[in-house]
Structures are given as C-alpha cells and as structure tokens.
Structure 1
Amino acid sequence: MTYQDTLTFLLEQLPIYQRVGRSAMKKDLTNIRALSEHLENPHHKFTALHIAGTNGKGSSAHMLAAILQSAGYKTGLYTSPHLKDFTERIRIDGKPIPRSAVVQFVEYNQAYLASLQPSFFEMTVAMAFDYFAREQVDIAVVEVGLGGRLDSTNILTPLLSLITNIGLDHTDMLGDTLAKIAYEKAGIIKPGIPVVVGSYHPETLPVFKSKAQQEDSPLLLAFEEYRVVRQKVDANYQYFSVYHQEKLIYPEMKLALLGSYQQYNLVGVLASVNQLLTHGFTISEQHLRAGLQAVSNLTGLKGRWQVLGSNPTVVADTGHNREALEEIVRQISQHLYRNLRMVLGFVQEKDLNIIFRLLPTSAKYYFCQPDIPRAMPLSQVVEAAQQYQLDFEVVSDVNQALRAAQTQSASDDFIFVGGSTFVVAELEI
C-alpha cells in the first residue's frame, strides 16, 4: 500500500467523526480494548499523562510535551484532529510518525481491522499507543478526543490526569448541562491517580469532587495553587508573572502561544508539572521556561491564535464553541485596527444563534464552507446572518474567502479566520 492508499482505507472504510459526525461514535470501549489486546496491550508499556476538557486540552498537551522534551525526556504526543496531515496526530519529540509507519501498521493489521470494524478514532488511538510502546517513550501526553468516559484513549491508566475546563460543546453527545458534560470528562479519573482540574464552575466542581472521592483520587485545583498575571505581549510572546500560593516564583515567564485564553491553560500546566516532580521527574525552571518559549517549534502546534500575516494583520484560530469564541472576540477587541474582517465557516451542529450573538456587528464577514461532509451549508449560514443584519459576502472556498478579505483590506485592518478547525486546516499556509 502507498501512504495515500492507506489514508483512503482509513477514511473510506472506517467512519471518522470529524467528517461524518455523531454516526462515527462508538458507545463503549469494547472495540478499542479488543484492538489493544490484538496489539498486545501497548498502553500498558509506557507512562502517560491524560488530558480532557472542552477547550484548552490540545494547547495544554503541547505545552506539557514541550516542557518534558526540554527536560530531556523522550516524549510521545497524541492529539486530534490534525490540520494538514494525518501524521500530525502522533508525534515523538515533536516529529510526526513516519508515513511508512502508518502504512506498516495498517498493512500488518488490515485483516483484523476489516473484521473488527473499529472507528477511525479507535484505530488511530491504537496506532499511537502501539507506536509509543515500540519506540519506548519515557512518557506520552495523550489528549482525549471527545468527552472522556467513553473516549478510546480512556483505556489508559495514567500517571496523572488533567481536566482543563468545561463548556457547552458537543451537547448532542455529552449532555446539555455543564454538570452532565463534567461527568463525561471526569470519566478519565482513575482509582488512586491524581487529577488536576485547571478551572471549574459551581456546577462542575461537585462532579469532580464526587468522582475523585469515589475513586480515592487526590483532587488538585490548580487555581487554588497558582495564579498567573499577564504583564505584556509582543509579536512573539506573552509575558506572565507566576505566583504559587501568592508567592511570586516566576517573574516574566515567556509563552510563545499568543492567545489570551492561554493564561487559563497555563495554570493547569504548572500544577501538572508540580505533580510530575513528586513522581521523580526532573524538571527545572530552565526546562519550564525553555519549553514554554518554544512550544510550536518543539511540538508543531498550529492554529492557536496563529499570526499569518501583517499589513493587514491576519490571525487564525481553531476555537469554535461559545467559550472559545468569547475569548477570541475579547482578544480581537484589544487590538487597534481600522476595519475588522472575519472569514468564517462552520460545521452542521453549531448553533448560529449563539455564535452570531457573540460576534461584533461592525465587522465585515466572508462566509466560506470547509470541504468536509459535516460542513454547514452556506445557505443556512446566510439565512442566520441576514437575521442578525450582518454585512457579509459569500465566497465558498476558504482560501478564496481569505484572499477576498485581504484584497479589500487597508494595511491597518484586522482579519480573523476561524469558526471551525476545518476552515483553518484548509488555509494554504
């Protein structure tokens, strides 16, 4: 098989949530357990950190991986979805899994995959765990795909669990209240395994406390231990003062991720690093600073408040639910610009009434449609935009929509591209 043949097999024969939505979801862990047993249970052969949350779990995973790499540990990293190429999902020390290893895994296990009929995500998780075990990583940082309790990654028994935050996303599958969604995320809490909670709401904290007590797991509330204060931001870094129990421990901590929302993720990351120290990991302040200063370079992270151009400023961000968009709009408002232009596309299950109520009415909008089956039809977007009396035009292709915005912009305008991970993924960058 060629690499392209392999991807075709994966995408066409195995359902993938990012493309078809809820129909790709499996209701239990039966398939992933069977597939792991077929592979001789690779998830028992490496140490792991397990990360769940509505927003921030990907950024937190990349930050932790970068810190561990800077400390000299051979570090696996599993995240989803990918932006440009499937291999981005599975990395060791920032380097994507070789395409040849993807082909080899599918060729060797194709008959079993065909008989078991796992989901795309189940197969991808198994591939990642098999690769990490074969390559003998010191530690793997593993991001939950969706939810937690029934997510394929939840066969892990990690060294530490981290839950970043809870928001109303994927409510058709995870529940329609914060407490119900927290219950699904709390499913990654394992017996006796410490869990760091990065942030919480009055509705979610009792859920985490109950689950941790049930599992006899130490519950660590990061915001009660750490406080970060953003001091300034420039073209390359955010600068934070970091306090532990109200004592300044890291003045001017530089973070190479520019999204203002990263301050919430940083607290959970710092608390997780502190827990790793209690488990015998050697991570110095120098390692911590080196990792945070070079997250994207070390781990390949893209699409988080990523600055794509200047004169006019062009920024892309994959944030796509209410909480993420609130932070994005807040950060845009902190910039000086003449005109704001927003290139947006969505997937089908998004509630445009919620989204359009968040967005500035003074902006010019360019609505596009990502090239996936789950894309929201532009006719539906247009209908909603008209109700909110937005100034917009329709340019179905993502890159043509961006070019239209750039053509119409002055040098001091601001262009934002997002609404969906799949819009950012199609950018020619």
Structure 2
Amino acid sequence: MNYSETLDYLFSRLPMYQRVGPAAYKNNLDNTLQLDNFYGNPHRHFKTIHVAGTNGKGSVSHMLAAILQSAGYKTGLYTSPHLKDFRERIRIDGKMIPENEVVNWVENYKVNDELQKIEPSFFELTVAMAFDYFANEKVDIAIVEVGLGGRLDSTNIITPEVSIITNIGLDHTALLGDSLEAIAKEKAGIIKNKIPVVIGTTQNETQQVFTEKAGELYAPLYFADREYSVRYAMNDFDGNQLLAVEKNGKQIYRHLKLDLKGAYQQKNLPAVLKTLEFLKTKGWGISQENIETGLAEVSKLTGLLGRWQVLDVNPRIVCDTAHNADGLTEIVKQLEQTPYKKLHVVFGMVNDKEPEKILKLLPQNAAYYFTKANIPRALDENVLAKYAAGFGLKGQAFSDVNDAYNEAKKSAGKDDFIFVGGSTFIVAEIL
C-alpha cells in the first residue's frame, strides 16, 4: 500500500468515532490491551503525562509539549482528531510521524492481525501505533491526550508522571452521562494510584467527584485555578497575548507571552504551570526561560492548528475548533470583545450534538452561512438553518463548506470579521 491507500484503510475499514459517532465507541480496553501486549507493551518504555477534559485538553497538551521541547527533551505528542493530515495525531518534537512509518506499521499490523483477529477501532489502532512509534524512537516523555472520556479511553493504560483534567462540560452525553457529575466520573478514570492529579478548573458540581476518587487512590489532588490566577495584560505587535500571572496572590509574570490568541487560553494556563511544578520536583530540568520560550512559540514548536487561528486580514478571518456549549460560550465572549463592522459566521455541526443548546448562544446580529462537513456524522445544512431560524439566526445554507466560506469572503467588507467554526470538521475543510 502507498500512503493514500493506507489512509483509506484506516478511515474506511475501521470504525472511526469522528466520522460515524457512537457506533465506533468501544466500552472496554480489551482490544487496546491485546494490541499493547502484542507490540511488547511499548507504553512502559517512556514517561508520560495524561491529559483529559471537555475543553482545553489539546491546548494544554501542546503547551506542555512546547515547553518540554524547549527544555531539550525528546517529546512525543499524541492528540486527536487531526485537521489536515492523519499524521498530526502522532508527533515527536513537533514533527509528524513520517508517511512511510504509517504505511509500514499498518502493513505489519494487517499481516499480524490474520493471527490475532483483534478487529480494533480506528482510535484503538492509532493509539497502538503512537505508543509503538514513541517507544521505538526512544522519546524521553510523551504528552498523551485522551480521545473521549477517560476511564475507557484507549490511552488509559499508561501510568503518567502527572494526570491532568482541564474541565468538565456537557459533551458526548450519550456515552459519558447526562450530568457534569457523571461525566466527571468518566474523566476521573485517568486518576492513578499515588500519581498527582491537576484539575484545571474548579467546578462546584465536579469537585467532590475528583476529591473522592483521588482520595481512594491516595493521589495528591490540586486545583490549579486556586493557586494560579491569569489575566490579560495586553497584546504585542503580532497579536500574541501578554498575560499577567499570579501564584497565591504574588505576581510571577508581568507579561508572559503566549502565541495562542484565544482569550480562553487564560483558563488553560494554570493547569500547565501546576503540572510543570510537579515535573520539576521529580527532577525534570525545566527553567523559567524554557517556559517562556515554549509558551511564546507553541504553534511553531508543535504545529497546533485551529485555536482562534487567524487566517487572513481585511477582512479578518478566524477559525476555531470549539464545538460544544462551553467552548462556544468562550468564543462568543471573544467575538463580543472584537471590533468589526459586520460579523459573518460560517457554521456547521455534527448530528449527535443538541443544536438548541449551542444555537441559543450565538449572536443574532450576524450573517450566517450554514454548511455541512463531508462526513456521515455531519448535520444537514438545511436542518441546521431551520433550527437556527428558531433562535433568530438568519443566513443561507450551503452543501459544501468551501462554497459557504467563499460566499462569506465575497460578502464581507475589509472592516468585517469572518468566523469559521461549530465543528472540528468545518475547520478542517477550510484549513
């Protein structure tokens, strides 16, 4: 197989949650454990940090990877989903796994599976590939982002240096539970015996869940936002955020530069800083300069895409992968703080979300371009437009994402603002 044929095998032959939804979700770790055992338990050959949460886990993972890279450590990074290229999911020091490595690994798996008969999902196989690649390349540490939930996620076979749970929101409720407490219990499944756990955001509904689980496992528990306070100071010439940071009321940074431009990153940073504290106590050599360099160059060092990413100016065009109520609440807050003459929104959703909870958050004083990503799980653009009309959101429907995007660009003046989002897959097609 060549690389294109290999991707076709991965995307078409294996159940993939991002494309088909809950039908691809496995409610046990049997396949993961079998695959891991077959490849010689590669996850035991490198250190890890495990990152779960409803929103922010990707940004936290990339920030940590950038800082560790700046400190000179060979750093693996496993994230999902990808936006432009499958290989974004598996990186070492910011470089994607080579195409030939993907091809050879999948061919080897197909031969061996004739004997094993494991029949994994797309995600199970991708995790096995990542862990095997990281072990073979002898990474010093890997930042491993949970795919879905935590307790039953394929990544949850590792025993990390630190476990991180960024926050809890109502997402994937059909699989994880229909309350914050129920979802928190699933996310808390990554907490391990005596391993420190960092909670990014203190929430009344979930605090007790984490406290009890950590207590059962004698895991030191820390709520990062109780120790670290982050606020916006100003933007530099390039639009990067300069943030003021306090720890326990004492200023530790006056102008900490962060090249991720979304205001919501201020909520993600405490979990990063608290995690670095633990790593330093365990002997990891991470200097103040490493932290400052890593945060100032996250996108450059790790290749992060789709987080309040500026695509153009005059008109200013921004895309963001936020796709649930909590994430889009933060997006709307930033839109309200952004100057423009008129707002244009290219918007699509997947069909297993509850559109009412999201559409009611969106601004009515905008021109909408409703559309549908090219995946089976996408919500029909005409259905979306009909739902949206009930919330006073007016616009046109387009069956193709790029048609919607091009119409928005054609309609927008140089002082207008175009936002693209609602679904990771809408952003992926634009990028």
TM range (shorter): over 0.9
**For the Cα contact (< 8 Å) 2:341–2:416, is it kept in 1?**
yes
Q: How does 1:30-41 map to 2 (within 5 A)?
A: 30-41=30-41
Q: Offset at 1:33?
A: 0.1
Whichever residue aligns with residue 207 of structure 1, its letter is V
Shift of 1:354: 1.1
Q: Does 1:327 align with 2:298?
A: no
What displacement does 1:390 show? Answer: 2.1
Q: How does 1:161-176 map to 2 (within 5 A)?
A: 161-176=163-178
Deviation at 1:249, TM superposition (A): 1.2
CA contact (8 A) 1:166 1:200 kept: no
SS at match of 1:365: strand
Q: CA deviation at 1:182?
A: 0.4
SS in 2 for 1:60: helix
Query: Percent of pairs identical after alignment?
Result: 55
Deviations 1:126-148 (A, max 9, x none): 00000000000000000000000
1:315–1:416 Cα contact (<8 Å) kept: yes
User: Residue 222 of structure 1 aligns to which amino acid in structure 2?
Assistant: A
Task: Name 2:186's counterpart in structure 1.
Answer: 184
CA distance in 1, matches of 2:141, 2:376: 36
Secondary structure of 1:68's counterpart equals: helix
Deviations 1:327-358 (A, max 9, x none): 00000110111111100011001211111110
The aligned runs of 1:210-225 (5 Å cut-off) are 210-225=212-227
In the other structure, the counterpart of 2:203 is: 201
For residue 106 of structure 1, what is the aligned residue in structure 2?
Answer: 106
Q: State the 1:241 CA deviation.
A: 1.1
1:340-379 → structure 2 map (5 Å cutoff): 340-379=343-382
On the 8 A contact 2:90/2:97 being kept in 1, the answer is yes
Letter in 2 for 1:121: F
Measure how far apart 1:382 and its partner are: 2.0
Amino acid at match of 1:162: I
SS at match of 2:155: helix
How far the C-alpha of 1:386 sits from its partner, in A, is: 2.3
What is the alpha-carbon distance in structure 2 between the residues aligned to residue 312 and residue 125 of structure 1?
A: 40
The residue number in structure 2 matching 1:314 is 317
Shift of residue 273 of structure 1? 0.6
- In the aligned structure 2, how far is the partner of 1:303 from the partner of 1:267? 21
Q: 2:417 and 2:89 mapped to 1: Cα distance? A: 31
Residue 228 of structure 1, CA deviation: 1.1
On the 8 A contact 1:54/1:164 being kept in 2, the answer is yes
CA distance in 2, matches of 1:316, 1:302: 9
Match of 2:283 in 1: 280
Alignment of 1:45-84 (within 5 A): 45-84=45-84
Residue identity in the other structure for 2:347: L
Match of 2:246, SS?
strand
Q: Distance in 2 between matches of 1:350 and 1:226?
A: 33
Query: Aligned letter for 1:6?
Result: T
Report the aligned-residue RMSD.
Answer: 0.9
1:241-260 superposed Cα distances (whole Å, 9 cap, x missing partner): 11111111122000000000
Task: Note if contact 1:63-1:269 (Cα within 8 Å) is conserved in structure 2.
Answer: yes
Say which SS state the counterpart of residue 156 (structure 2) adopts: helix
Q: For residues 209-243 of structure 1, what are the alpha-carbon distances to aligned partners after superposition, in whole Å with 9 as ceiling and x for unaligned?
A: 00000111000110121111211124431011111
Q: Show structure 1 runs of 5+ residues with no match.
A: none
Partner of 1:300: 303
Equivalents in 1 of 2:413, 2:12: separation in Å? 44
The total of aligned residue pairs comes to 428
**Deviating more after overlay: 345-354 vs 234-243:** 234-243
Q: Is the 8 A contact 2:381 2:398 kept in 1?
A: no
Q: Which amino acid counterpart does residue 110 of structure 2 have in structure 1?
A: Q
In 2, the alpha carbon distance for the partners of 1:264 and 1:113 equals: 43
Alignment of 1:144-163 (within 5 A): 144-163=146-165
Deviations along 1:18-58, whole A, 9 cap, x unmatched?
00000001010000000000000000110000000000000
Q: Which deviates further from its counterpart, 241-250 or 60-69?
A: 241-250
Q: Name structure 2 gaps, 5 residues minimum.
A: none
Q: Which residue of 2 aligns with 1:339?
A: 342
Alpha-carbon distance in 2 for matches of 1:236, 1:382: 33
Corresponding residue for 2:405? Answer: 402
Kept after mapping to 2: 8 A contact 1:78/1:90 = yes
Deviation, 1:410, is 1.0
Q: What is the identity, as a one-letter code, of the residue corresponding to 1:221? A: F
Q: Kindly report structure 1 stretches of 4+ aligned residues shifted beyond 4 Å.
A: none
